Structure formats: C-alpha cells, structure tokens
Structure 1
Amino acid sequence: METPTFHFLAVALTFALPVLTLFYIHADYKAFLSLGPGGTPATPLGYAKIKLLSLICLRDPLRPMAIPPHFRPQRGYLPSLPRREGSRPVVRGIAPQRQQTQKSSGDIYAALVEAMRRLIADPANYLLERTSCFEKNSSGIFASTPITRTCGGEVCHAHPSDGSMHMTLHPADAKIVLESGWGERHPLARGGWCRRFVPKEFVLIYAPRNKEEIETVIKIVAAGVWWVAGIDAEKKGASRRDSGADIKAFVRAKDAGCHTCSVHGCGTTGLEGSMAARA
C-alpha cells in the first residue's frame, strides 16, 4: 500500500522532471549557440542534429587511429614535433568544434593568417584560398589538384573565434600531433558512414599562443599540404606524393576555380574571416 509520502514524491517527480529537462535543453542549446558559426546551422534543427551525432562520436579523441597494413605511404611527413607546453585547452562541440580556453589573441591570429597566406602565395605550392568546404564560415587552404580526397581538396581552415584549425593529416602525422599535445581528433573522424561529414584523418589543431607556436602550427599545415596536395611546402626535400603527375596540370587547375564535392560548397572570403569581431 502506497504511503502519502511516496505518493507525494511520485507526483513531484512527475512534474519536476519535464521542467528540469527543459532547463537542461535550454542551457545546452545556449552553449551550442555560444560556439559561433560553423558547419551546422545555429538553429533548433541544427542543435537536434548535433545531439543525434553525439551518440556516435569518438569516445577518446586523443587515441590515434591505427594505420592499416595496406596503407600507402606508411610514413608521414613530420619527423617529430616539440612538446606543446602546458595543459591541453578545453574543447567543446562537434560542428562547430571550438576551443574554450587558451585562445589566440588578435595579433597572434593575424600572424597565423599571414603565415598561411605566404604558403598560398608561393607559386610552387599550387594552393588556393577559398571559403572552407567543411564549415562555410571561415576560409582555408585548398589544393589546386588534390591527390588525397577531402571536401573540395581542402587542406585546412582556421577559426577566427579562437585561432584553432581543422585539417586532414596522414595518420602517422596525426599520431605525432596527438602525442606531442598539439591537437586532437575530430569527434566524427571515425570513418565509415561518418565520412560523409569529415575524413577519418580529420584533426583539430590547437590555437597558437605566441609566435613560436605559430612556427610549429605552420609545420603541421605543411604536413597537411603534403598529404592532400602532394607538395613539400617547406622545400626540405621530402618525397613528392604526386610522382608521375604532370606539373602543368597544377598550373591549369590554379585558375580553374574551386573544387567542390556533392555535400559541401565553396566561396571566396578572406582567411581573416570575422577577425574584426575579435577586436
């Protein structure tokens, strides 16, 4: 037989749980909006999509992916990286995925953009500057003629809101990045069905905090250029991955416009994106 106290608690929970759930959803939705523009519309429908995708996310973004025995090449571009000082930043979100701490200052982000544009300006690299094919709200580096499939040949893109970057790396290079503390895997970088969103080799590179860290981040960008474009942007004699290709094809593609895939689109805004909003 139910006691009056038990009956009261049951009724209280019946009314309290929906209210608490609504409060949680409201707070969680505001946290989603606070990440800023990204690959998912900042709408209730976009929020619902992200919550569904969170069910299949990587549980340990710091665990490197294994390199299959048949994978070619087995070795990546980076010999090593200096250990990143301090703790890792707090990272939140899926699409967008952003740093919540240890963000780049406006001056450091501007210097990062300048360094990226120097890579693009070098005609030997055959790179393009386009609006990110993955996020559509920030700009990035694209290969004129990619030899590794990514969205539209995108190598990387920078995030003006925090200074972090997303890019596609050879698994061996991604392993070095993770183990030296410079980044982590994207939550959806698990391959299979999730490849419709990002490549399995997709990583977040933490925002540089000073000019010395910009140099390291640009080395990682060069590894992304090597993997996607087959170009040694540092001119250090690394083996080309486009062996046998006619280099003139790169020149023709240089003015051919933006490569696109069936899921994402491209544009032409500058790398600095919404830098003015950071001032």
Structure 2
Amino acid sequence: MNVLDFVRIHAPLLVDRLDSTRPRSLLLAVGGTLFSVWAIRDFLRWRRVDGGLPHNPVTWVFSHAVNLIFNRSGVTARFVRKLETDKDETRLLGALPPREGPLPTLQPWGLPQRHIPQLYSSKMLDVITQHITAAASKHNLLLATSVREGHQGLALYSQRANSLVAKPDLESDRLHVHPGDGSVHVSLHPRDAAEVCDKGWGIPFPLAGIWVLDPGLVFVYAPRNDEELQIVLRIIDAGVDFMLTKMK
C-alpha cells in the first residue's frame, strides 16, 4: 500500500475522530476558563477579609475544604449535641433567650470565620472592646492583638499581664473581636457553648476541639441592638470565667 492509498483510507477516520472529540475539548476549555475566572475572583474577595491564616492559594483551598466538610447543618448539629453531653457539666452562662429573626449569612469560606452583619454598629464594637479591656484590668489578664487573627483585632489571653512570659501565644488566645463584622470568637465551657448555639447566638468554630483549640470555641454573631449587646456581653463574661480556669 502506497502513501496515497494509506491517506485515502485513514484520513476520513481521523477526521471523524477529531470531530467526535471537538465538543468535549471545547466543553473542557470553556469549563476551565469559567472556573479560572471564578477562582481568581473568589480568591481576591477572600484576601480582602481581615485576619485568619496567611492569605495565599494553599490556605484559600484549605478554607474552602473546611467550609465543605464542617460548615454543614448536620455536622454542626452533631457537634452541638456532643457539647451538650460533654463530661464537663460546668455551666457559667445560664439560660439564654432565643435570638430573634433570621440568622446572619456566613461568608462562603470556612476560614477566617466571618458573617455578613445585620444592622452592625461600630458603637457596639466600642462597647464590647471596652468591656473586654475592663475584664483584662479586673483579672490582670494579658490584652493584646489576636495571634489567631494575624494580630488583627483585640484579644484577651489566659495569661497574666505581669507574667515574666507575657508574649501572647496561640493557645491562650481564647477571646477576640473581629472589627470587620463585629463578631466575637470566645471559648466557653462545652455546655455553655451548646447553649449559645442552640439559642441562635452563634455557631461552633469549624475546627473547635482540634489541636490547641478548645471544644467550646464559638463564633458569636454581632449584636443588632442594645438588648442583643447585653447578651453578647454575658457570653463574653462566661468566656472570661472559663479563661480563668485555663491560666498559664
């Protein structure tokens, strides 16, 4: 068989094969382009959120993985049930009234854990900050920027302010505020944490109970009015009392 005969026989088959793969290749190309555009936009949005882990592509992927695995209603409900039956039966918070109205919308990333605040007022954040500062003075606790939030936002540590080793550390950062949305991260006794979540005042931190993070670490929503502000201050006080049991 000469070359012309080979081409005459096999060329139509090659053309048919290319035609059959062209839609698939085009679909993959379009899908890849759309995903790339979404990923770049989402990454840039995520980078604008203050605090949390260093902002790079690896931690961006990790943040989405945390959100997919842990920030689901079934997972959260099981975790809250676990808190309610924890062997530590201490309760410092007491019963809370249910939070009224719809829950805030969480940002679409697991880390940093943030929400879209409802009726957020910087004046309320000032009151929360003053309350935390007063607690630091009353109990001689270390007050500094938050290690867990990349030194953004005020934090209260389970360390003495006059300690010879007064450098803030990751484990002791048990209460801090987020200036961007007015929310608070605070560690509580497990059953107090369950009360906060059951009554709609917050949700568990997705990685609570892992490594140096307390099982009762919760994300408390920003208050919308003075009545809710008083509830948030009660939760903070319970967090301070818990912190005093973890002093270094």
TM class by shorter chain equals 0.7 to 0.9
Q: Look up the SS of the partner of 1:188 in the other structure.
A: coil
Give how far 1:95 is off. 2.3
Q: How does 1:90-109 map to 2 (within 5 A)?
A: 90-92=105-107, 93-102=109-118, 104-109=120-125
Query: Is the Cα–Cα contact under 8 Å of residues 32 and 47 in structure 1 kept in the other structure?
Result: yes
User: 1:219-239 CA distances to partner (integer Å, 9 max, x unpaired)?
Assistant: 101111122213xxxxxxxxx
Moved more, 217-226 or 41-50: 41-50
Pair 1:51–1:221, CA change in 2 (3 A): same
Give how far 1:53 is off. 4.0
- What is the CA–CA distance in structure 1 between the aligned matches of 2:102 and 2:174, rounded to whole Å? 27
Pair 1:117–1:168, CA change in 2 (3 A): same
Pair 1:207–1:15, CA change in 2 (3 A): same
- What residue number does 1:80 align with? 95
Give how far 1:128 is off. 2.4
Query: Is the Cα–Cα contact under 8 Å of residues 94 and 188 in structure 1 kept in the other structure?
Result: no
Q: Which amino acid aligns with 2:92?
A: Y
Query: Is the Cα–Cα contact under 8 Å of residues 84 and 190 in structure 2 kept in the other structure?
Result: no
Q: Look up the SS of the partner of 1:40 in the other structure.
A: coil
- What residue number does 1:46 align with? 59
Give how far 1:112 is off. 1.8
Query: Is the Cα–Cα contact under 8 Å of residues 146 and 155 in structure 2 kept in the other structure?
Result: yes
Pair 1:77–1:110, CA change in 2 (3 A): same
- What residue number does 2:197 align with? 178
- What residue number does 2:228 align with? 213
Query: Is the Cα–Cα contact under 8 Å of residues 58 and 188 in structure 1 kept in the other structure?
Result: no
Q: Look up the SS of the partner of 2:114 in the other structure.
A: strand
Greater relative CO (CA pairs within 8 A, separation 6+): 1
Q: Which amino acid aligns with 1:95?
A: L
The CA RMSD over aligned residues, in Å, is 2.8
Pair 1:130–1:13, CA change in 2 (3 A): same
Which of 203, 209, 230 is equivalent to 2:218? Answer: 203
- What is the CA–CA distance in structure 2 between the aligned matches of 1:22 and 1:70, rounded to whole Å? 44
- What is the CA–CA distance in structure 2 between the aligned matches of 1:55 and 1:91, rounded to whole Å? 13
Query: Is the Cα–Cα contact under 8 Å of residues 174 and 186 in structure 2 kept in the other structure?
Result: yes
Give how far 1:54 is off. 4.2
- Percent of residue pairs bearing the same amino acid type: 27
Aligned residues: 221
- What residue number does 2:143 align with? 129
- What is the CA–CA distance in structure 2 between the aligned matches of 1:69 and 1:102, rounded to whole Å? 32
Matched, 1:164 2:183: yes
Give how far 1:67 is off. 4.3
- What is the CA–CA distance in structure 2 between the aligned matches of 1:217 and 1:139, rounded to whole Å? 16
Task: Give the number of the structure whose residues are more often helix, by fraction.
Answer: 2
Q: Which has the larger radius of gyration?
A: 2
- What residue number does 2:32 align with? 18
Query: Is the Cα–Cα contact under 8 Å of residues 67 and 171 in structure 1 kept in the other structure?
Result: yes
Moved more, 154-163 or 89-98: 89-98
Q: Look up the SS of the partner of 1:71 in the other structure.
A: coil
Q: Look up the SS of the partner of 2:175 in the other structure.
A: strand
- What is the CA–CA distance in structure 2 between the aligned matches of 1:178 and 1:27, rounded to whole Å? 32
Query: Is the Cα–Cα contact under 8 Å of residues 56 and 188 in structure 1 kept in the other structure?
Result: no
User: 1:201-235 CA distances to partner (integer Å, 9 max, x unpaired)?
Assistant: 211000012222221111101111122213xxxxx
